[in-house]
Amino acid sequence: MIARGRSTPTICIDCRYIGPRPSGIAEVVRRLIDHLPALAPEWRFLLLRHPAHSGPLSDAANVIEQVVRQAANGPATLWWLPEVADLSRVDLFHATFNIMPAGLTMPCVVTIHDIMRLTRPAWCRTGLRGVVEQHFYGHGLKRAIRHADAIAAISAATAREIAHYHPPAAARTSVTASGVAPHFRPLPPDPAVLAGLGLTPGKPFVLTIGQDAPYKNHEGALRGFAAAFPGDAPIELVFVQRQGAGRAKLNVLAKALGVADRIRFLPTVDDAQLITLYGAAQVLLHPSLGEGFGNPVAEAMACGCPVVTSNISSMPEVAGSAAVLADPCDIASIASGLLAVVQSPARAAVMRSAGLARAAELDWRDFALANLAIYRRLLADRSF
């Protein structure tokens, strides 16, 4: 609701994804609020904060924060957020993680990362929890696509998916392409960090990163690795994967393919460890079936790590001409991509240079500016 007589609009950004567990969405929200207060110093920003986040989200003078104890992905967010958060002086609300809360009386922008739960539910989490998530996110996504005043899609691929799913939403959709943080940069890999992760410094490995979900296509990554490097080839495959039921299946498959002794699973790692992994890897293998953006592709390129990724969804858009693109449903294509990089140091060197140049174009400040343009457009006909 707009409080007339005030000279400054207040923009509320839901930042509750920034919490104890790292995620791609948390990174997007983090970088948005890193830049917005300085880009619009004349505005006020109200940040909804996760209770487990230690300390303030921002030290900017035009930022205030409000702790909301209800879960970001919970019923309170979806159906009665205005009853658990004080939004009485908010002029515009930014829902940053796909779902649009009910009961908002001010204009609403929704950042949509992907709509797989509407179009490819089998790619997402499986089991009973997957069924619950499909209904929950499906409800929030449908509301956002049909009713949000503006939709911020983090890639052109996501914008196309939205337009195909619900054509009237195209006119309200803008592309706000994600970026890559400057701390992702080429650094000599730290042997102590590698050893601490259980890896042998200097031993070559292929790196695959992502949660345990079908759309990440970790089975395809494993099969492609085994096809490229069968038997006792002196190279490993390292998964950085939040533990789930899929790990046991991958272990069984690795044994069947004869590569079990060359597969390593790491838990969630911090940024310093991740940068060392990117710096030490022969190649990042990211054969995802679909992505809203695909942060590992951008991060790896920024660290000088060659990339083999999918030739569909957002991956070609993110990688530009810097990566080897493979058909994620074709094991021979994945294997061929891996061999093209690992067996040709000259090609890998060219890809490193191209990747650094492409990553430099993925600027979080530009992402924040694109969101700010949406805010200004929605508030243009309102007086303060």
Tell whether 135 and 275 lie within a shared domain: no
Tell whether 267 and 369 lie within a shared domain: no
**What's the pLDDT at 7?**
74
Q: Classify 189 as helix, strand or coil.
A: coil
**Which string of DSSP letters, residue by residue, matches 283-318?**
EEEE--S--SS-HHHHHHHHTT--EEEESSTTHHHH
**What's the pLDDT at 212?**
84
pLDDT, tens digit (0-9, with 9 covering 90-100), for 25-36 = 999 999 999 999
Residue 321: DSSP 8-state: T
CA atoms of 342 and 315, how far apart (whole Å): 20
Tell whether 102 and 130 lie within a shared domain: yes
Tell whether 202 and 290 lie within a shared domain: yes
Tell whether 196 and 74 lie within a shared domain: no
**What's the pLDDT at 4?**
39
First and final CA of the chain: distance in angstroms? 12
**What's the pLDDT at 136?**
79
384 in a structural domain:
no
Specify the number of domains making up the chain: 2
Which residues partner with 153 through β-bridges? 112, 175
**What's the pLDDT at 56?**
95
pLDDT, tens digit (0-9, with 9 covering 90-100), for 292-319 = 999 999 999 999 999 999 999 999 999 9
Q: Over pLDDT 70: what percentage of the chain? A: 95
Question: Which residues, including other chains, have CB under 8 Å from residue 70's CB and lie 6 or more apart?
Answer: 76, 77, 81, 84
Tell whether 332 and 374 lie within a shared domain: no
Q: Residue 370 above 70 pLDDT?
A: yes
Strand 283-286 to strand 263-266: parallel, antiparallel, or no bridges (unpaired)? unpaired
Q: What angle do CA 323, 342, 317 make, to 5 degrees?
A: 10
334 against 244, higher pLDDT: 334
1 in a structural domain:
no
Q: Over pLDDT 90: what percentage of the chain? A: 83
**What's the pLDDT at 6?**
60
CA atoms of 320 and 371, how far apart (whole Å): 23
Instruction: Measure Cα distances from 264 to 199, 306, 341 in Å.
Output: 8, 20, 21
pLDDT, tens digit (0-9, with 9 covering 90-100), for 310-343 = 999 999 999 999 999 999 999 999 999 999 999 9
Helix, strand, coil in percent for the chain, rounding step 5:
45, 15, 40
Q: Which residue has the tokens 């996760």?
A: 50
Q: Residue 126 above 70 pLDDT?
A: no
185 in a structural domain:
no
Tell whether 173 and 197 lie within a shared domain: no
Q: What angle do CA 345, 349, 355 make, to 5 degrees?
A: 140
CB atoms within 10 A of CB 247: 15
24 against 281, higher pLDDT: 281
Alpha helices in 155-270 (DSSP H): 156-165, 191-196, 218-228, 246-257
Q: Residue 124 above 50 pLDDT?
A: yes
Q: Which residue has the tokens 């693109």?
A: 325
Tell whether 170 and 261 lie within a shared domain: no
**What's the pLDDT at 3?**
42
Tell whether the torsion through CA atoms of 89, 366, 37 and 183 is positive or negative: positive
pLDDT confidence of 1, banded at 50, 70, 90? very low
Residue 84 belongs to domain with CATH number? 3.40.50.2000
Tell whether 196 and 307 lie within a shared domain: yes
Across the chain, mean pLDDT equals 93
Q: What is the mean pLDDT of residues 269-276?
A: 94
Q: What is the mean pLDDT of residues 132-147?
A: 85
4 in a structural domain:
no
Which stretches does DSSP call E strand in 105-235?
Answer: 108-112, 150-153, 173-175, 205-209
Q: Residue 248 above 90 pLDDT?
A: no
pLDDT confidence of 58, banded at 50, 70, 90? very high
**What's the pLDDT at 374?**
98
Q: What is the mean pLDDT of residues 342-355?
A: 97
Owning domain of residue 137: 10-179+364-379
355 in a structural domain:
yes
372 in a structural domain:
yes
Tell whether 167 and 268 lie within a shared domain: no
Tell whether 151 and 230 lie within a shared domain: no
Tell whether 199 and 67 lie within a shared domain: no
Instruction: Measure Cα distances from 16 to 64, 96, 101, 104, 340 in Å.
Output: 14, 9, 14, 18, 42
Q: Residue 240 above 80 pLDDT?
A: yes
Q: Residue 5 above 90 pLDDT?
A: no
217 in a structural domain:
yes
With beta carbons less than 8 A apart as the criterion, state whether 315 and 288 touch: yes
pLDDT, tens digit (0-9, with 9 covering 90-100), for 204-218 = 999 999 988 899 999
pLDDT, tens digit (0-9, with 9 covering 90-100), for 64-115 = 999 999 999 889 999 999 999 999 999 999 999 999 999 999 999 999 999 9
Q: What is the mean pLDDT of residues 178-195?
A: 95
